[in-house]
Amino acid sequence: MLMPESSGSMILLIYAIIMSVAVYIIHKIYVKLRVMCRKFKKKMIGIKRAYNKLKRWLSGARKKKNGQSRYIPSAVKREVWARDRGRCVLCGSRKNLCYDHDLPYSRGGTSLDANNIRILCRDCNLKKSNRIE
Ligand SMILES: [Zn+2]
């Protein structure tokens, strides 16, 4: 009780030190948590990427079964269009046309040979797929 003012400021100082240490520790924990979160996120992104890669690889492996894809090159399309004169080869319709694999792609039919591609209208294409399945 000799120096009340000084002891009061001493308590205040100690209080301030404790507070700043507490804030420092909390900040440390916060930073650590944030880093952990970021690492976790990165890991999740990595897993996701690996999963997508695997999926792509699997579908790619299926697509490249015969070293080709379902996609019909435009050169083949032009050839087929000229040969079939822009009509459905079955009914002669000029509406709702599409390129059709004669031997279905899923059964190993090629997209690269015009002989396996023909023009069908939507109706004939539907009839065809009903017949096969
Ligand atoms: Zn047709």
**Could you tell me the distance, in angstroms and rounded to a whole number, from the CA of residue 70 to the centre of ligand 1?**
21
**Ligand 1 centroid to residue 124 C-alpha, Å:** 4
Q: Are 88 and 121 in contact (CB under 8 A)?
A: yes
Which residues, in sequence order, are CB contacts of 128 under 8 Å at separation 6+? 100, 120
For residue 84, the CA-to-ligand 1 centroid distance in Å is 12
- Interval between CA 39 and ligand 1 midpoint (Å): 58
Phi, psi for 107 (deg, rounded to 5): -105, 20
Dump pLDDT digits (tens) for 13-63. 999 999 999 999 999 999 999 999 999 999 999 999 999 988 888 776 655
If pLDDT is split at 50, 70 and 90, which confidence band does 4 have?
low
Q: What pTM did the predictor assign?
A: 0.49
Domain 74-132 CATH class label? alpha beta
pLDDT score recorded for residue 132: 55
